[in-house]
Amino acid sequence: MASRISQIPGDLPFHILECDGCGSAYECFDATGYDLDALVASAREAGWTTQPHHHCPRCAASELVAA
Ligand SMILES: [Zn+2]
């Protein structure tokens, strides 16, 4: 699962999704970023795929073409 946590000193852990294909990051700079499940749901709405890999919309599109 390609997610990492950006820890800001004095703040809550902040989740970031990373594309397994190109490495681009999906982050939400509101309360969504504090909750991994909410962040994943938000990313899926933005066109990301999260199963079986984390892929940004661009890589997800090329994955469909390849399949
Ligand atoms: Zn990508």
What's the structural domain count of the chain?
Answer: 1
Alpha carbon 12 to chain centroid distance?
Answer: 18
The residue segments making up the domain with residue 21 are: 3-66
Among residues 14, 2, 15, 6, the alpha carbon closest in space to that of 51 is found at 2
Give distance in angstroms: CA of 23 to centre of ligand 1.
6
Task: Give per-residue pLDDT as tens, 2-37.
Answer: 778 877 677 778 899 999 999 999 998 888 998 999
Give distance in angstroms: CA of 38 to centre of ligand 1.
20
Q: Please say if the pLDDT value at position 67 is more than 60.
A: no
**Contact status, residue 9 vs residue 45, Cβ threshold 8 Å:** no
Q: Please say if the pLDDT value at position 1 is more than 60.
A: no
Q: Express the helix, strand and coil content of the chain in percent, nearest 5 each.
A: 35, 20, 40
Residues with CB under 5 A from ligand 1 (ion): 19, 21-22, 56, 59
Say what the pLDDT of residue 51 is.
85
pTM for this prediction: 0.78
Say what the pLDDT of residue 14 is.
87
Give distance in angstroms: CA of 33 to centre of ligand 1.
19
